[in-house]
Amino acid sequence: MFVDEVIIYAKAGDGGDGCPSFRRESKVPRGGPDGGDGGDGGSVIVQAEENVNSLANIAGHRHWNAERGGHGEGKLRTGRKGKDAIILVPPGTLVRDLARGHLLRDLKEVGDSVIIAKGGRGGRGNKHFATAVHRAPREFEPGSPGDERKVTLELKVIADVGLIGKPNAGKSTLLSRLSRAHPEIANYPFTTKFPNLGQVRVGFDRQFVVADIPGLIEGAHSGVGLGHEFLKHVERTKILVHLIEPDPQDQTDPFDNYRQIHDELRLYDATLIERPEIIVVSKSELPGAAELAELMSEELGKPVLQLSAVTGKGLPQLIQTILATMDANDDKDAF
């Protein structure tokens, strides 16, 4: 099960109370105060973890409570600190305050973390209240309460390459051929219900992550179908590989399908159409694929690749084009 948005309630641990204690020993009739401080409460922390790829692991765990701090004890013994509650999420998770709606942290990299509910501070024992005049204080501080907060966790898949296109354009099949991912594949539209990720290794020192973005339809930018849920995952990709089916089952025009997806990206976020784009005519084993690629290349004024994920034709060229585009993009970022 793939889950990319969850609302959770976080309650940090309360701080432990300080202790009102006095030293009791033989031959020490007036030992004075020796009450220890309370321990700090644990915090609730959201942390990006490498081996987590969905929010499904916390979908059924909506309440997160950290441990409260221990109370102080005599002989100046400080209470035990409460254990933190750590929520592991995939890299690319946005953490937002539900009440105010502001972004707390964008957990882009593995190891990034944010405290969403800070633990309460432990109270001071009566030792802190002793003075030259007030030598036997009975005052002590109770621990402060831990923070409470509701937050929204929203996952936007991070990938180097995003596969986009109409439903049944061959994105899942291509992902399975490029990597070891095993997405659901069938010969009907709307097969993919959620993004699939796969890692492509080239030689010993090169690799990149590919995301199969579920098929987009007209009106996706305004939320038609599952448009917003799908389009938000495109935002994180560095390069777009646009797959075009030469003979769509719904008898639509392949060129019109390309323009439609292009318009949906522009209407959702104008910066998306500025991303490096590799146009690929998929299912090149079908009649008319070569003619379509040539026509689109003339009309758009850019190369259009041909690919058959079934036979493997064109896969090496696509991989090399992706690597060259990544290198060119990295050079631009360097300046």
Q: Does the annotation place 176 within a ligand binding site?
A: no
Q: Does the annotation place 167 within a ligand binding site?
A: yes
DSSP-derived secondary structure letter, 41: P
111 token code pair: 């190891």
Q: Does the annotation place 309 within a ligand binding site?
A: yes
Q: Does the annotation place 170 within a ligand binding site?
A: yes
Q: Does the annotation place 123 within a ligand binding site?
A: no
Q: Does the annotation place 79 within a ligand binding site?
A: no
Q: Does the annotation place 282 within a ligand binding site?
A: yes
Long-range contacts, 316-324 (Cβ 8 Å, 24+): 318/241, 318/278, 318/280, 319/178, 319/200, 319/202, 321/278, 322/160, 322/161, 322/208, 322/239, 322/241, 322/278, 323/202, 323/206, 323/208
- Angle, nearest 10°, between helix axes 254-268 and 227-234? 80
Q: Does the annotation place 43 within a ligand binding site?
A: no
Q: Does the annotation place 198 within a ligand binding site?
A: no
Q: Does the annotation place 20 within a ligand binding site?
A: no
Q: Does the annotation place 194 within a ligand binding site?
A: yes
Q: Does the annotation place 214 within a ligand binding site?
A: yes
Q: Does the annotation place 166 within a ligand binding site?
A: yes
Q: Does the annotation place 212 within a ligand binding site?
A: yes
| Cα separation, 284 vs 293, whole angstroms | 9
Q: Does the annotation place 168 within a ligand binding site?
A: yes
Q: Does the annotation place 213 within a ligand binding site?
A: yes
DSSP codes, 248-316: -TT---HHHHHHHHHHHHHHH-GGGGGS-EEEEE--TTSTTHHHHHHHHHHHHTS-EEE--TTT-TTHH
Q: Does the annotation place 191 within a ligand binding site?
A: yes
Q: Does the annotation place 172 within a ligand binding site?
A: yes
Q: Does the annotation place 72 within a ligand binding site?
A: no
Q: Does the annotation place 165 within a ligand binding site?
A: yes
Mark the binding-site residues for Mg(2+), compressed into ranges. 172, 192
Mark the binding-site residues, compressed into ranges. 165-172, 190-194, 212-215, 282-285, 308-310
Mark the binding-site residues for GTP, compressed into ranges. 165-172, 190-194, 212-215, 282-285, 308-310
